[in-house]
A and B are shown apart, each in its own frame.
Chain A
Amino acid sequence: DAKTTQPTSMDCAEGRAANLPCNHSTISGNEYVYWYRQIHSQGPQYIIHGLKNNETNEMASLIITEDRKSSTLILPHATLRDTAVYYCIVRVANSGNTPLVFGKGTRLSVIA
């Protein structure tokens, strides 16, 4: 079972920041938080990941609370192409040989 809790759906106005929350209250010390998204009919796409520090890349920012029990993915200027299902996943270590366990994710709708 997925070890994260996310809202089922969210709306965001185009050009505004989209803030997607994720609860992972049972996260272990060696587990990372990963975010993927899936645009309709396409394969999931990696966005960002982090352990305890905030992370930023060209796609998004990841804010992890100090107790690591929750995090927020921030898309700073959402566009219509950011409409997708966003998955928050926790997994052991920084290892590519651990299968990802997907939950239901958050369906983000960016509205013009």
Chain B
Amino acid sequence: DAEITQSPRHKITETGRQVTLACHQTWNHNNMFWYRQDLGHGLRLIHYSYGVQDTNKGEVSDGYSVSRSNTEDLPLTLESAASSQTSVYFCASSRTETGELFFGEGSRLTVL
């Protein structure tokens, strides 16, 4: 079955380190999204992509970057991790023709 997977599921890192969270989907969806979720803030959009070589900033994009070199993957990079980026990160994908987003199981990142 087609799916969307995130890795790693759990990561602990130190302030200032570069961290990359992977997101891979096998549905051949054009659209991919990254959200973060914190207590008291709900889900907030970080970056999104409508296709290869396309990236867009979301509500909370500072300190994050993404790249889309193929349809299947949208890695999220924290160039210099900060404690404020401790959060649970969710990746999602969708087809343009439908409204349904499919979410991964999340990646829990702790920055010490």
Q: Which chain A residues have a beta carbon within 8 Å of chain B's beta carbons?
A: 32, 34, 36, 41-46, 49, 91, 93-105
Contacts and interface: CB of A to CB of B under 8 A. Distances in A.
B42 A102 contact: yes
Given A42-B106, A44-B101, A97-B50, 20 more contacts: A36-B101, A43-B106, A44-B43, A44-B90, A44-B92, A44-B103, A46-B100, A91-B99, A94-B98, A95-B96, A96-B97, A96-B99, A96-B101, A97-B30, A99-B33, A100-B33, A100-B43, A100-B45, A102-B43, A104-B42
B31 interface: yes
Interface residues of B, number: 27
Interface in B15-74: 29-31, 33, 35, 42-45, 48, 50, 58
A46 to B, nearest CB: 5
B103 A96 contact: no
Contacts of B90: 43-44
Nearest to B6: A43
B102 A46 contact: yes
B98 A96 contact: yes
A58 to B, nearest CB: 14
29 contacts: A32-B99, A36-B101, A42-B105, A43-B103, A43-B104, A44-B101, A44-B103, A46-B101, A46-B102, A49-B100, A91-B99, A95-B96, A96-B29, A96-B94, A96-B95, A96-B97, A96-B98, A97-B30, A97-B31, A97-B50, A98-B99, A99-B33, A99-B48, A100-B33, A100-B43, A100-B101, A102-B35, A102-B42, A105-B42
Contact of A97 (B94, B102, B104): B94
A101 B41 CA distance: 12
Contacts of A105: 42
B105 A43 contact: yes
Contacts of A43: 90, 92, 103-106
A36 B50 CA distance: 21
B103 A45 contact: yes
A93 B85 CA distance: 33
